[in-house]
Structure 1
Amino acid sequence: MATRPKGKPIMPLAELTGKTTPNGFQWGATLFDFFFVYRIPCVNAITTMTGSKLLKVMESIGESGYAKAKAEVEWAAAEQDPKVVPVANTQELIEAYDLRVKLGIFNSYSMIDSIRESALKITEYQVHNEHPAEESSDKDGERDEDMEKEDEDEEKHRVKEDATEGPAPHAEEDGADDVSDSMDVDSQRSVIREPSMHEDEETLEEEPIMPIPPPPEIPVTSPFHPSHYPSPWPFIPFTVPRVPMLLQERIPLHLLPRTLYVHDPFNLLSVRRWKIVDTSWLSRPDIVRTYTLSFSPAMQEKVDKATKDAEEMEEFKARTLIILRYTRTRQQIENYEPIIEVPLPPYQRRLTKVEEGHLYISPVAKVGEGNHSVVYKTEWELPRDLLTEPHFCKTCMKESMKEEMKKLRESGRWDRMMRAACWGPKGLTQHPTAQTVIDAMEDVNDPPILEKDGEIIEREITCVVAPDTHPIEILRAFEKGKVWELFKKKRNQNSPANAANQMIISFAEEEEVPLPKGSTSSSPLSAAPRVRINPKLAYQNPYNNLCSHRTVTNVCPVPRTTRFTVAAKLSIEHDKHLAREAENYQNFPEHFFQHWSGYNLVPPIRNPVPVHALVPQFFGYYTPVLEHENQEKVKDEEKGDEDEEDTDEEEEASVQKPYLSPILLLEHCGNPIDPDTVSDDEQEECRSLLLRFHAAGWLHESVAARNILVQKCPPTEFPATWLTTEAERSPSFRLIDFGRSRKYTKSEERMMEETAALKLFRVDYGACL
């Protein structure tokens, strides 16, 4: 029997934590970074520990050179740091959807009557002319008849719904995904049209005739103006199968729409059980309610500061000229070619605030209903610029550079530039001229750029890049590496003006090429002058014009907006849970919303668990704005009370404004779990959510299976991955429903919730020890 080493015990010292995520738990990059350890020699007690922590322990006690653990020590030393994993690229998903629109497969759902009717005629022609029966075998004929019957049934259903059927399941979801307690979408519609299945006919109220407020005035400058929707956009809400896509990307709070126009033709915002017979969107006139974004006072101050900081940063970026200095290839160096510099177009200012968004709500997309609230899957329309970035065609840039250099050579200016730099076919021809002197020669180089496309240039950032570098990659690297913040901080420090307004960043280096044998040149091949050329370059947006290189794979034009699927939670009248839940979302730490790489050790769970987001993304809490008509009615009512004290109660009720629920917008995160069907690994991940919630100082106060949602795949995976087999899927889980949640002070309260979670999954407490 092997003997255990009799070393020093591993004490739980705070300074020897190893790598952790912001939630404070131990972290490992892979499952191979976790080890079973005897903390105390000769004591039969095993502890799970991360490799990074073990490495620190071994270094502290002088055992890092232990020969038998050499491979493990090297592995731990090379382990990556924890990092935030972004969700599936939203811009790529938008462009994929645009491409499907370009193919015309959604034309039958267009709001434009002529396009919709034409598409429906084409569909009918294809259905009746595909696979003639006389050309098929008997077996194939039977199959085709079944298919035709299915198509006819589907067509009848479409006619019944007035060509506006409810949303088909998303590509990421099964048909059972859209409602609570395992109801599918079709049965959901049946519940609405035939309430006797789940509730008595008497419990449904006859929908009253409500005044329709005037539609909001949308200025032409708004991306939501009708003139910005090219054909076949816009589409009828809740009709296009498997779209719009889920919005899973985190939106900074200062970029949430300040005003929300809610399209509610079915009066669902009143949160009453209306008797609705026809749920097709076009069966009713559109009713648009105006809502405003609401924050707690403390969060409003943070949002205002974030908006101000964003405006200052965008102004700083727009007044900074980015210059690409291309490194030369070995052949270019050997041919004594100069170094080329190209200034990029002015930085495209990003949004610092969003004035408006539009929300569409329908009874066909009801998700679930509780004692205090009701949840719908809704379509949220946002400015496209909020979640996309401008395009930059690399091919256009290369062609423009070649054209500019050709013009310089034909005009003779190229030769003058080379002579001014004392540079010839074999390198330096005489003592080199200083680069600053060359740049000041108006006959050689263009004068310094003080203004470019309307932007006043105050500073420059020169980026040394490889010849095949895409400009967009540089801009992304700036954001990821916080280059803008560092440059701005440097400029604010006490440094010389020239140094503060210039920065050089190297993304690549030139190859060192020795002088060829027998060369008489005294200058190294790398000592070449810099020549700045100014080709015509421009960023591109798909809602304007794209170049011919991009129109092959991208759609142009497209609307200046795009739609997403989000969950909208409404509350009954006089209920305060929704407002408390919205405030809790604003107080949650940032890591609650982040997906992290690797795994956490979350005691008392002994196995590593993934570190997905803990809660859904928060997209704002919106409260209704009192319409002008209601304001006038309230004033008239107050005046009438002064003049006539015996006003009839029915008249007072008739002028009373209808109740409109506030709206909590959240990420749609799937369906409630079934504790009886989850695997051991999945139930440990579900329990880890509550333990992470507790570790941050929060008490949930409503631990139940309905408040833990599951998605087939993590949001960090693209929807195509969600179509894999069940065995290959890796589901993700979230906690929801925080209307009762609060900070706790007594550990007993936390222990009671953790015990409730164990009972939920039928796990004995002893199994966790």
Structure 2
Amino acid sequence: MSSQDQPDRGSTSKSDPLLNSKNSAEHIIKYPILPNDLDFETYRKTDKHYKEILDRFIPIASKSGVLDGEQVDSKEKRERTRYIMQMWPRDPNGEVMYEMPDGKMTSNRLPLWGATLYDFYFVKKTPSMDNMLTFISGSKIARWMRQKNELYAMDYIDQAENDEPEPRIIPPYHIGEFIELIEQQVHLRKTGRSMKVDKSTNEKISKCLLPPSEYPGRWPLVPFSTPTCRLQERIPFDKLPKTLIVHDPWGCLSGRNRKANGKQKWSKATDVVHTYILLRPSEEHARALVDASTTTTGGTQEAHLYITPKRRLGVGNHSYIYQAELELPRELLVKPKTCVTCSCEGEVISKEQNGDRVRELFKANKQHAPYCEHLDDGVPRPKIAKVSVTAKLTMPSTDDENHEQQLANEAWNYMHFPDHFFEHWNGYNIIRPCQDPVPVGAVVPQFYGYYMPKKKGRGFKSPILLLEHCGTQASMSSLTLEERRECWSLLERLHLGGFVHNSVYERNVLVQNGPIQWSPFERSSLHPRFRLIDFGRSQEDEAGTRALFEHSRADIEFGLDFIHHPNF
């Protein structure tokens, strides 16, 4: 079909010229126009035109030797859906390709990035030699072609320069929308149980983040009596709570095996409260941890954490993992809303001339939080909100192993991981030796602080590592080849970012429904998203020497063989 027939969808010419080197605009796979909340990896899973392109590409690529040199079997076809599907046309008299300029890149600085699968190409390094193929991104080769004045394939250059979207961070689903929904349900008495406190007092008590009198309506609520949404947005370190009030009626902080039973009810529990302090790395000694209250100012001063054996997610070699409720100031999670009328209140601070019209810019004199009076829907809005996080606790150390040090080491790694380990980007990277594009999601969970008891006291109290809850353990035997390669790419990006894992097992890969930018109610197993975890033994490896020893282990755990596989 021609580009005129389907201007907004991916298409190929009538003769199926995938991997064709002719210089014609109709041979280019045209870009789809994506909705604002979609990246191409999500869109292609349900795009029938992409499936049509793929069904035509595989037989052509197989016969041309790009795949196995033979017809691809049905299992391979079913398990792989990301391919480089186009050949960049070369001028027969063009130069040999040596040094290449940078193309578009995300913050991880990997050189081969494309917004869609249509932004990667095979290309002949030497135009006259068909057997010297390499793969490259469209933005990278288009810049090289401009530099060398090889304008033989102007339609390809124009598409790479003008049509490909720029790299952009994909923010996770904004948790404020879920919090507002729960507030409405609590107000309508469809969820939640009120805590028994004297709401006439203005004095703060250990049960609550705020004085009881500051809680409206049915708040404060009994812990775990309402649904909570996973906190997946990144919180800057300087905004993390400096003090953490931990509610632990059943002694989970002791690092012992606390089994769940039907008698463990918060409404009947005798609350036991501990005070914890946020720690941060010392500038003088990188692996030392010091009291953050002496080195940071501003930000969130206090939060409450609730732990119960009923929400234990798993047990490691030296730790217990819990799904915990974290109570934070609402303003940290929900954006205040102001209507147009209120946003224009206040003094004029500047004017913009646009032809005969003058646009006045206002500075509001009043702060409307959480809602201005015109948007008030009658639902009480408390100054706090609860979210779900993962709390990792350590077992007491033994003569053979220092479990506390492992948790401290993991916290140090999270504090020193580069920013791009935590970021979700649109598009794909090609990470050698794999030649199939892989999505550029986050590598590790979001980090929400490492806390130590303010006072040691009697008995052991575990430090607390707060992290994003990223799903369940992935089973490599149930993943497709393509998904296993995506898991491998996370480990390789960890290596390229200057760290070695030192504990490469499938249990340290988590999978959750996606995409990350959708509401939890809309996410699906059709869009799996993966993350690496457990960095207690990890360490810096900027030279990459230790990473070499992990490759063979990774091939075994992820069920891959990059040396002997015909595509590598």
Q: TM-score, normalised by structure 1?
A: 0.56
Match of 2:183 in 1: 98
Matched, 1:564 2:387: yes
Q: In 2, are the aligned partners of 1:27 and 1:50 still within 8 Å (CA)?
A: yes
Match of 2:431 among 602, 605, 612: 602
Matched, 1:730 2:489: no
In 1, the alpha carbon distance for the partners of 2:132 and 2:498 equals 30
> 1:104-151, CA deviations, whole angstroms, 9 ceiling, x for partnerless residues?
2114x333599xxxxxxxxxxxxxxxxxxxxxxxxxxxxxxxxxxxxx
Pairing of 1:548-587 with structure 2 (within 5 A) = 549-552=374-377, 556-574=379-397, 575=403, 576-587=405-416
- Offset, 1:740: 0.5
Q: In 2, are the aligned partners of 1:390 and 1:539 still within 8 Å (CA)?
A: no
- Offset, 1:234: 2.5
In 2, the alpha carbon distance for the partners of 1:557 and 1:52 equals 51
> 1:652-695, CA deviations, whole angstroms, 9 ceiling, x for partnerless residues?
xxxxx111000000000001111011122211211110111000
> 1:197-245, CA deviations, whole angstroms, 9 ceiling, x for partnerless residues?
xxxxxxxxxxxxxxxxxxxx8389x9622222223222222233xx211
Matched, 1:88 2:173: yes
Q: In 2, are the aligned partners of 1:112 and 1:232 still within 8 Å (CA)?
A: no
In 1, the alpha carbon distance for the partners of 2:230 and 2:360 equals 48
Q: In 2, are the aligned partners of 1:690 and 1:754 still within 8 Å (CA)?
A: no
In 1, the alpha carbon distance for the partners of 2:529 and 2:351 equals 40
Match of 1:750 in 2: 547
Match of 2:467 in 1: 666
Pairing of 1:682-721 with structure 2 (within 5 A) = 682-721=483-522
In 1, the alpha carbon distance for the partners of 2:481 and 2:443 equals 19
Give the 3 Å change call, closer, same or farther, for CA 72–252 of structure 1 in structure 2: same
Q: Indicate the SS of the match to 2:550.
A: helix
Match of 1:9 in 2: 96
Q: In 1, are the aligned partners of 2:209 and 2:303 still within 8 Å (CA)?
A: no
In 2, the alpha carbon distance for the partners of 1:694 and 1:225 equals 48
Give the 3 Å change call, closer, same or farther, for CA 276–694 of structure 1 in structure 2: closer
Q: In 2, are the aligned partners of 1:615 and 1:736 still within 8 Å (CA)?
A: yes
Match of 1:381 in 2: 327
Matched, 1:270 2:254: yes
Q: Indicate the SS of the match to 1:378.
A: strand
In 2, the alpha carbon distance for the partners of 1:658 and 1:602 equals 49
- Offset, 1:70: 2.2
Higher relative contact order, structure no. (Cα contacts within 8 Å, ≥ 6 residues apart): 1
Q: In 1, are the aligned partners of 2:239 and 2:300 still within 8 Å (CA)?
A: yes
Give the 3 Å change call, closer, same or farther, for CA 92–759 of structure 1 in structure 2: same
Give the 3 Å change call, closer, same or farther, for CA 275–694 of structure 1 in structure 2: closer
In 1, the alpha carbon distance for the partners of 2:241 and 2:433 equals 42
Q: In 1, are the aligned partners of 2:321 and 2:393 still within 8 Å (CA)?
A: yes
Match of 1:20 among 85, 105, 111: 105
Match of 1:218 in 2: 204
Match of 2:311 in 1: 365
Q: Indicate the SS of the match to 1:392.
A: coil
> 1:52-80, CA deviations, whole angstroms, 9 ceiling, x for partnerless residues?
001111112211x21xx222111111123
Unaligned runs of 5+ in 1: 115-216, 309-351, 402-448, 450-459, 465-508, 513-524, 631-656
Alpha-carbon RMSD across the aligned residues, in angstroms, is 3.1
Match of 2:367 among 527, 539, 558: 539
Give the 3 Å change call, closer, same or farther, for CA 362–603 of structure 1 in structure 2: same
Q: Indicate the SS of the match to 1:762.
A: coil
> 1:356-401, CA deviations, whole angstroms, 9 ceiling, x for partnerless residues?
1100000010000012011000000001122233321224567x79
Amino acid at match of 1:239: S
> 1:75-97, CA deviations, whole angstroms, 9 ceiling, x for partnerless residues?
11112321222111222222222
In 2, the alpha carbon distance for the partners of 1:245 and 1:670 equals 13
Amino acid at match of 1:668: H
Amino acid at match of 2:518: E
Matched, 1:354 2:300: yes
Q: In 2, are the aligned partners of 1:700 and 1:740 still within 8 Å (CA)?
A: yes
In 2, the alpha carbon distance for the partners of 1:289 and 1:746 equals 42
Amino acid at match of 1:37: V
In 1, the alpha carbon distance for the partners of 2:323 and 2:183 equals 22
Amino acid at match of 2:179: I
> 1:128-184, CA deviations, whole angstroms, 9 ceiling, x for partnerless residues?
xxxxxxxxxxxxxxxxxxxxxxxxxxxxxxxxxxxxxxxxxxxxxxxxxxxxxxxxx
> 1:254-308, CA deviations, whole angstroms, 9 ceiling, x for partnerless residues?
1111110000000010011246652222232000111111111128899899956
In 2, the alpha carbon distance for the partners of 1:293 and 1:75 equals 50
In 1, the alpha carbon distance for the partners of 2:94 and 2:267 equals 77
In 2, the alpha carbon distance for the partners of 1:286 and 1:219 equals 12
Match of 2:154 in 1: 70
In 1, the alpha carbon distance for the partners of 2:465 and 2:540 equals 21
Match of 2:218 in 1: 232
In 2, the alpha carbon distance for the partners of 1:245 and 1:275 equals 24
Pairing of 1:49-198 with structure 2 (within 5 A) = 49-63=136-150, 65-66=151-152, 69-78=153-162, 79-107=164-192, 109-112=193-196
Amino acid at match of 1:361: I
Unaligned runs of 5+ in 2: 1-19, 23-89, 398-402
Q: Indicate the SS of the match to 1:720.
A: coil
Q: TM-score, normalised by structure 2?
A: 0.74
Give the 3 Å change call, closer, same or farther, for CA 745–561 of structure 1 in structure 2: closer
Match of 1:502 in 2: none
Larger displacement relative to structure 2 (672-681 or 743-752): 743-752
Amino acid at match of 2:384: T
Amino acid at match of 1:237: P
Give the 3 Å change call, closer, same or farther, for CA 106–19 of structure 1 in structure 2: same
> 1:620-672, CA deviations, whole angstroms, 9 ceiling, x for partnerless residues?
00001217xx4xxxxxxxxxxxxxxxxxxxxxxxxxx1110000000000011
Q: In 2, are the aligned partners of 1:391 and 1:539 still within 8 Å (CA)?
A: no
Q: Percent identity?
A: 38
Match of 1:328 in 2: none
Give the 3 Å change call, closer, same or farther, for CA 604–461 of structure 1 in structure 2: farther
Give the 3 Å change call, closer, same or farther, for CA 251–738 of structure 1 in structure 2: same
In 1, the alpha carbon distance for the partners of 2:331 and 2:386 equals 12
Give the 3 Å change call, closer, same or farther, for CA 246–532 of structure 1 in structure 2: closer
In 2, the alpha carbon distance for the partners of 1:692 and 1:51 equals 22
How many correspondences in the alignment?
460
Q: Which runs of 4+ in 1 moved over 4 A?
A: 1-4, 274-277, 299-308, 395-398, 530-534, 745-748
Q: Indicate the SS of the match to 2:274.
A: strand
Please identify which structure carries the higher helix content: 1
- Offset, 1:51: 0.4
Match of 1:612 among 441, 457, 471: 441
Q: Indicate the SS of the match to 2:328.
A: strand
In 2, the alpha carbon distance for the partners of 1:734 and 1:280 equals 33
Q: In 1, are the aligned partners of 2:249 and 2:271 still within 8 Å (CA)?
A: yes
In 2, the alpha carbon distance for the partners of 1:82 and 1:463 equals 34
Q: In 2, are the aligned partners of 1:254 and 1:303 still within 8 Å (CA)?
A: no
Match of 1:248 among 213, 232, 237: 232
Q: In 2, are the aligned partners of 1:238 and 1:362 still within 8 Å (CA)?
A: no
Q: Indicate the SS of the match to 1:381.
A: strand
In 2, the alpha carbon distance for the partners of 1:561 and 1:742 equals 37
